[in-house]
């Protein structure tokens, strides 16, 4: 591939190259990056042209790493944009659980998941960490959709067995049944994974503390350890959830999850808007990642995540759409919201309502920071060699074009910012997952 690209090197640094050749090997890794100064540049370019495998970008186009959606509820896709004015508990019980219950119909699951996976790929998302539903047939349909449309999928069978916090038509029958179903999903997915080019990974998925019994939480901690698998859940997302842990366990959300062996360096915890300093220190110590879901948090989080502090503490963090707590499948939209929300954040000097308590420069997130979260931050959270245009990474790439009229000379830095603020799926021209073009506009 020949053309301009941007790639995050760390949270504050985005590198730009104008004319490098990105060489992709047969397994879909970036095998070499050749600069115009390299002596073999012309020969490699000529060979690729001769073999008819060169993707040559126009001056309007640029390559970016594919995005990683670090938190998304696949079965909630039909509700994206619905009932966002309701508080979390009501939104779950009245709108979300009844929809998720419908995925006992594997045919429905197959149709929705085919639509969702294609939409995410069209939005530039090449890897996703999915919450499925409680139903394994439906969850396998999601795996099949990833396989068919070639997206790297991390998929969890949702565990929710607490009859006090879940409806009768949508829950695991018992902790034992939930654990058994989780184990069987793990084994089925691992078997399927042996046949795939792009990996499918099962994920241990206690929905959140209110929906799980202690027995289920303990068993899931053991399964995570036994199979050495990633873990995902929601942690300190809202006043209600945070309060549930305090009331029920007399401990904080994070402490309880940790006690059950669910906070380790393969764990990704969504939201975390109400995590306190001790919780963040625990995350740092245990290597836990945070899936920041800035759009969803505006509606349900009851606070703005202190993203700048989290980056400074070097806690792993990526971006999630949280469909359908968030309305948009686009990580570009979430990049923008992450920056906007950080500008609105105010810790307040005195805890009083005060118009002068507002976001300060050191709390602001830059657009580079947010791009890092959608790419390398997500990759590091999942311990994956992706999210960067770099030798040894998967060639998970999106080719986008400027969709504005240029009225002045634009530096690469200006172009990068404008791309982050203006790109939508209409100007994503091609998407590659592990070296293969899986979406292409003519």
Q: What does residue 368 show for φ and ψ, rounded to 5 degrees?
A: -65, -45
**234 scored as a contact of ligand GUN (CB under 6 A):** yes
Measured in Å, how far apart are the chain's first and last C-alpha atoms?
A: 17
Residue 396 interaction partner, one of ligand GUN, Fe ion, none, beta carbon < 5-8 Å per kind: none
Q: CB of residue 227 vs Fe ion: minimum separation in angstroms?
A: 23
Instruction: Give contact residues for Fe ion (rule: CB under 5 A).
Output: 270, 322
Q: Is 296 in the site for ligand GUN (CB under 6 A)?
A: yes
Q: Do 283 and 269 touch, CB atoms closer than 8 A?
A: yes
Minimal CB distance residue for Fe ion: 322
Residue 292 within binding range of ligand GUN, rule CB under 6 A? no
73 is an interface residue for ligand GUN by CB under 6 A: yes
Q: How far is the CB of 182 from ligand GUN (least distance, A)?
A: 17
Size of the site for ligand GUN (CB under 6 A): 11
User: Pick from Fe ion, ligand GUN, none: which does 207 bind, CB < 5 to 8 A by kind?
Assistant: ligand GUN
- Name the residue nearer to Fe ion (CB basis): 1 or 254: 254
Q: How far is the CB of 49 from ligand GUN (least distance, A)?
A: 49
CB of 131 to Fe ion, least distance (A): 7
User: Out of ligand GUN, Fe ion, none, which partner does residue 233 contact, by CB within 5 to 8 A per kind?
Assistant: none
Q: Which of 103, 154, 208, 416 binds ligand GUN (CB under 6 A)?
A: 208
For ligand GUN, give the closer residue by CB, 133 or 402: 133
322 binds ligand GUN (CB under 6 A): yes
Nearest distance, CB of residue 84 and ligand GUN, angstroms: 11
Q: 77 to each of 113, 155, 282, 331, how far by Cα in Å?
A: 8, 15, 33, 15
* In the complex, minimum distance from the CB of residue 308 to ligand GUN, in angstroms, rounded to a whole number: 23
Q: Which two tokens stand for residue 304?
A: 């703005």
Helix axes 136-149, 106-122, angle to 10 degrees: 40
- The verdict on 279 binding ligand GUN (CB under 6 A) reads no
From candidates 17, 96, 150, 201, binder to ligand GUN by CB under 6 A: 96
**Cβ-closest position to ligand GUN:** 325
The residue whose two tokens read 């939409």 is 119
Work out what residue 208 binds among ligand GUN, Fe ion, none; the CB cut-off runs from 5 to 8 Å by kind: ligand GUN
Q: Which residues contact 225 (CB under 8 A, 6 or more apart)?
A: 261
Burial readout 110-134 (b: 16 or more C-beta within 10 A, e: otherwise): bebbbebbbbbbbbbbbbbbbbbbb
CB closer to ligand GUN, 234 vs 316? 234
Minimal distance, residue 261 CB to ligand GUN, in Å: 20
Least distance to ligand GUN, CB of residue 300, Å: 5
C-beta of 13: minimal distance to ligand GUN in Å?
Answer: 31
| Nearer Cβ to Fe ion (68/270) | 270
Task: Out of 237, 279, 363, 396, name the contact with ligand GUN by CB under 6 A.
Answer: 237
Q: Is the CB of 70 or the CB of 438 nearer to ligand GUN?
A: 70
Buried b (16+ CB within 10 A) or exposed e, 251-282: ebbbebbbebbbbbebbbbbbbbbbeeebbeb
To ligand GUN, the closest distance from the beta carbon of 240 in angstroms equals: 9
- Nearer Cβ to ligand GUN (144/165): 165
Q: Which of 135, 171, 207, 252 binds ligand GUN (CB under 6 A)?
A: 207
Residue 425 interacting partner from ligand GUN, Fe ion, none (CB closer than 5 to 8 Å by kind): none
* List 29, 300, 327, 372, residue binding ligand GUN (CB under 6 A): 300
Contact residues toward ligand GUN (CB under 6 A) are: 73, 92, 96, 207-208, 234, 237, 296, 300, 322, 325
């Amino acid at each position: 591939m020949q053309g301009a690209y941007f790639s995050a090197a760390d949270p504050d640094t985005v590198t730009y190259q104008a004319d490098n050749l990105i060489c992709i090997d047969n397994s879909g890794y970036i095998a070499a990056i050749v600069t115009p100064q390299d002596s073999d540049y012309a020969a490699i370019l000529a060979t690729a042209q001769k073999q008819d495998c060169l993707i040559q970008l126009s001056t309007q186009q640029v390559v970016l790493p594919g995005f990683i959606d670090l938190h998304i509820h696949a079965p909630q896709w039909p509700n994206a944009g619905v009932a966002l004015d309701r508080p979390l508990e009501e939104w779950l019980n009245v709108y979300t659980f009844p929809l998720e219950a419908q995925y006992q119909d594997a045919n429905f699951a197959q149709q929705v998941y085919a639509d969702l996976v294609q939409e995410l790929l069209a939005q530039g998302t090449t890897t996703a960490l999915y919450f499925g539903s409680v139903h394994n047939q439906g969850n396998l349909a999601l795996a099949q959709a990833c396989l068919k449309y070639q997206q790297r999928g991390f998929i969890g069978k949702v565990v929710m067995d607490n009859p006090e916090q879940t409806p009768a038509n949508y829950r695991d029958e018992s902790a034992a049944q939930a654990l058994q179903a989780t184990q069987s999903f793990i084994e089925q997915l691992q078997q399927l994974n042996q046949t795939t080019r792009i990996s499918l990974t099962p994920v241990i998925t206690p929905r959140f503390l209110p929906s799980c019994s202690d027995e289920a939480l303990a068993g899931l901690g053991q399964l995570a350890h036994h199979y050495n698998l990633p873990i995902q859940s929601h942690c300190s997302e809202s006043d209600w959830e945070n309060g549930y842990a305090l009331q029920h366990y007399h401990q904080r959300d994070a402490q309880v999850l940790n006690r059950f062996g669910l906070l380790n360096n393969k764990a990704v915890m969504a939201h975390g808007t109400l995590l306190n300093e001790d919780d963040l220190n625990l995350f740092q110590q245990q290597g836990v990642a945070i899936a920041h879901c800035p759009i969803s948090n505006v509606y349900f989080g009851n606070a703005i995540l202190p993203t700048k502090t989290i980056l400074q503490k070097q806690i792993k963090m990526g971006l999630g759409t949280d469909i359908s707590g968030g309305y948009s499948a686009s990580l570009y939209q979430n990049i923008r919201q992450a920056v906007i929300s950080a500008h609105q954040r105010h810790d307040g000097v005195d805890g009083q309502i005060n118009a002068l308590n507002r976001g300060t420069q050191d709390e602001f997130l830059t657009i580079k920071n947010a791009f890092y979260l959608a790419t390398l931050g997500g990759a590091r959270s999942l311990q994956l060699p992706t999210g960067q245009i770099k030798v040894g990474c998967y060639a998970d790439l999106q080719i986008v074009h400027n969709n504005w009229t240029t009225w002045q000379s634009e530096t690469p830095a200006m172009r990068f910012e404008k791309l982050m603020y203006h790109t939508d799926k209409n100007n994503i021209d091609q998407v590659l997952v592990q070296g293969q073009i899986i979406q292409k506009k003519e």
